């Protein structure tokens, strides 16, 4: 059995859970209600949460977003009481989010804030600051790239939460509690439920010594210079967070996995910059790792390689199959690279349409395929051939 390799997110388990949550009759709450709900938690213990209602179903269930940014899916049978909140709903600002993370994670975590992030770190302050610098450079490059492409990504008013654990073991323990589908090789993940990126101190596994290293951000950059695979994982997950918080995608909507993962892989190549410089050149880089996976003779020999484009677009099944997952990720990267390079206008319009889909309403495989054909043409065999030729011409940037 194959593992998913060095990139793993909570996306697979999320896709399954969201399909289970979907019900036939959903309606957006408009205007968005700000309410407090008393509900039955584990062991029938009573608990409460306040936030804005994003979706209601006809049975009385709700999808709620709280002030921290966590999404709560509460079925009608769990809801005990709903009370309107007079104040207008607002997400927490940076100071309030910092206080909330301190209360949640305790004294063992220190807080580092940047213009767009609040970081709770169980590690050295220099590594937390290094991560903040990395994410801020990615943030600026991401917004500029997609703005230049013709979309209108927004920075948003609410800060983004990042959690850093001191080592991989503590990260994995937390991921299990967070119900994240993270494999042992993973260096981080993004949770669409909590809206957080979670990772661990990468310096514990980079360079010699095996411990936390580097007393300055420049030293950390030097130590991690050979750990691009680890950094790319973290960047990949940060891209997911940006996509879902800039308006490109909507949490708990029907986001085809090839699109979500392809977008993240298109932007995942890390750029540590000269001496930690402020630029970022990684978006759109040709990945030697992904290209090698796509050209793998074993992938090309499998029966699915004959019609990989159709199967990729229709469903997430191949991402869930350990024997097919690596190929599905590689195909998603190549397809995304081709569409952005050769069919950019159509890709942007398709991404815009997907980003406007309602939450908890899911298309059938036939509907997904029809929407893809409407965007990129009916002849998928010819399109697949074009993508494969495109891949054969590519040369890795790094």
pLDDT digits (tens, 9 = 90+) for 124-155: 999 999 999 999 999 999 999 999 999 999 99
Per-residue tokens: 14? 């999320």
pLDDT band at 209 (very low <50, low <70, confident <90, very high): very low
pLDDT band at 263 (very low <50, low <70, confident <90, very high): very high
Question: Residue 42: its pLDDT value, please?
Answer: 79
- pLDDT at residue 172 tops 90: yes
**In 10 A of CB 330, how many CB atoms?**
24
- pLDDT at residue 162 tops 50: yes
Question: Residue 303: its pLDDT value, please?
Answer: 67
pLDDT band at 299 (very low <50, low <70, confident <90, very high): confident
DSSP annotation string for 226-242:
G-HHHHHHHHHHHHHHH
Find the mean pLDDT for residues 75-95.
Answer: 96
- pLDDT at residue 179 tops 90: no
Angle between helices 288-295 and 380-393 (to 10 degrees): 130
Question: Residue 9: its pLDDT value, please?
Answer: 47
Question: Residue 7: its pLDDT value, please?
Answer: 44
Task: Decide the pairing of beta strands 46-57 and 34-40.
Answer: antiparallel
- pLDDT at residue 316 tops 60: yes
pLDDT band at 279 (very low <50, low <70, confident <90, very high): low
pLDDT band at 275 (very low <50, low <70, confident <90, very high): very low
d(CA 238, CA 227): 17
pLDDT band at 16 (very low <50, low <70, confident <90, very high): very low
78, 101 contact by CB (below 8 A): no
- pLDDT at residue 39 tops 80: yes
**In 10 A of CB 149, how many CB atoms?**
14
Worst-scoring range by mean pLDDT, 13-22, 27-36, 63-72, 383-392?
Answer: 13-22
Q: Which stretch of DSSP H or E encloses residue 260?
A: helix 257-267
165, 128 contact by CB (below 8 A): no
Worst-scoring range by mean pLDDT, 122-131, 153-162, 257-266, 291-300?
Answer: 291-300
Give how far the C-alpha of residue 241 lies from the chain's centroid of Cα atoms, to the nearest Å: 5
* Average pLDDT of the chain, as a whole number: 89
Question: Residue 170: its pLDDT value, please?
Answer: 96
Find the mean pLDDT for residues 84-109.
Answer: 97
pLDDT band at 397 (very low <50, low <70, confident <90, very high): confident
Instruction: Give the angle subtended at the CA of 146 by the CAs of 30 and 385, to the nearest 5°.
Output: 110
219, 213 contact by CB (below 8 A): yes
User: Between residues 212 and 218, which one has the greater pLDDT?
Assistant: 218
Domains 11-15+92-249 and 33-84 are alike in CATH topology: no
Task: Sketch the domain layout of the chain as residue ranges.
Answer: 11-15+92-249, 33-84, 288-393
HSE-up of 256 (CA within 13 Å, CB side)?
Answer: 29
Q: In what order do the strands lie in the sheet with 160-165?
A: 110-113, 117-121, 160-165, 196-200, 188-191
Find the mean pLDDT for residues 379-383.
Answer: 97
Task: Decide the pairing of beta strands 196-200 and 160-165.
Answer: parallel
User: Between residues 114 and 157, which one has the greater pLDDT?
Assistant: 114
Residues 6+ apart with CB under 8 A from 371: 350, 353, 363
Find the mean pLDDT for residues 347-356.
Answer: 98
pLDDT band at 43 (very low <50, low <70, confident <90, very high): confident
- pLDDT at residue 339 tops 60: yes
pLDDT band at 276 (very low <50, low <70, confident <90, very high): very low
Model confidence, pTM: 0.91
Question: Residue 5: its pLDDT value, please?
Answer: 42
CATH architecture label of 33-84:
Roll (2.30)
- pLDDT at residue 205 tops 60: yes
Pick 11-15+92-249's CATH classification: 1.10.8, 1.20.1050, 3.40.30, 3.30.1490.
3.40.30
What are 163's strand-pairing partners? 120, 198
């Amino acid at each position: 059995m194959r593992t998913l390799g060095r990139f793993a997110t909570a996306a697979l388990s999320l896709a399954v859970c969201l399909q289970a949550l979907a019900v036939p009759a959903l309606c957006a709450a408009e205007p968005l209600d700000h309410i407090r709900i008393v509900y039955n938690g584990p062991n029938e213990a009573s608990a409460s949460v306040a936030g804005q209602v994003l979706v209601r179903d006809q049975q009385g269930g709700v999808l709620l977003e709280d002030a921290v940014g966590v999404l709560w899916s509460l079925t009608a049978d769990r809801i005990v009481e709903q009370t309107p909140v007079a104040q207008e709903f607002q997400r927490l600002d940076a100071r309030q989010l910092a206080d909330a993370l301190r209360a949640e994670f305790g004294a063992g975590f220190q807080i580092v804030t940047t213009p767009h992030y609040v970081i709770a770190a169980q590690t050295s302050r220099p590594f937390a600051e290094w991560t903040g610098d990395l994410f801020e450079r990615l943030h600026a490059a991401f917004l500029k790239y997609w703005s230049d492409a013709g979309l209108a990504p927004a920075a948003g008013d609410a800060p983004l939460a990042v959690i850093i654990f001191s080592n991989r073991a503590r990260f994995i323990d937390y991921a299990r509690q967070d119900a994240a589908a993270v494999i042992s090789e993973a260096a981080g993940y993004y949770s669409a439920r909590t809206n957080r990126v979670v990772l661990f101190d990468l310096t514990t596994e980079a360079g010699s010594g095996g411990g936390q290293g580097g007393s300055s951000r420049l030293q950390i950059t030097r130590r991690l210079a050979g750990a691009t695979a680890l950094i790319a994982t973290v960047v990949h997950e940060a891209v997911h967070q940006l996509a879902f918080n800039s308006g490109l995608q909507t949490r708990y909507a029907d986001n085809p996995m090839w699109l979500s993962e392809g977008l993240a892989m298109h932007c995942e190549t890390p750029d540590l910059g000269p001496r930690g410089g402020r630029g970022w050149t990684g978006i759109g880089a040709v990945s030697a790792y992904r290209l090698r996976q796509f050209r793998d003779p074993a992938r090309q020999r499998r029966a699915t390689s004959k019609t990989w484009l159709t199967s990729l677009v229709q469903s997430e099944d191949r991402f869930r199959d350990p024997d097919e997952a690596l190929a599905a990720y590689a195909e998603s990267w190549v397809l995304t690279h081709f569409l952005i390079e050769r069919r950019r206008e159509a890709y942007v319009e398709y991404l815009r349409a997907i980003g406007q889909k309602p939450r908890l309403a899911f298309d059938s495989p036939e509907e997904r395929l029809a929407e893809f054909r409407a965007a990129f043409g009916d002849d998928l065999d010819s399109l697949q051939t074009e993508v494969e030729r495109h891949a054969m011409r590519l040369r890795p940037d790094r």
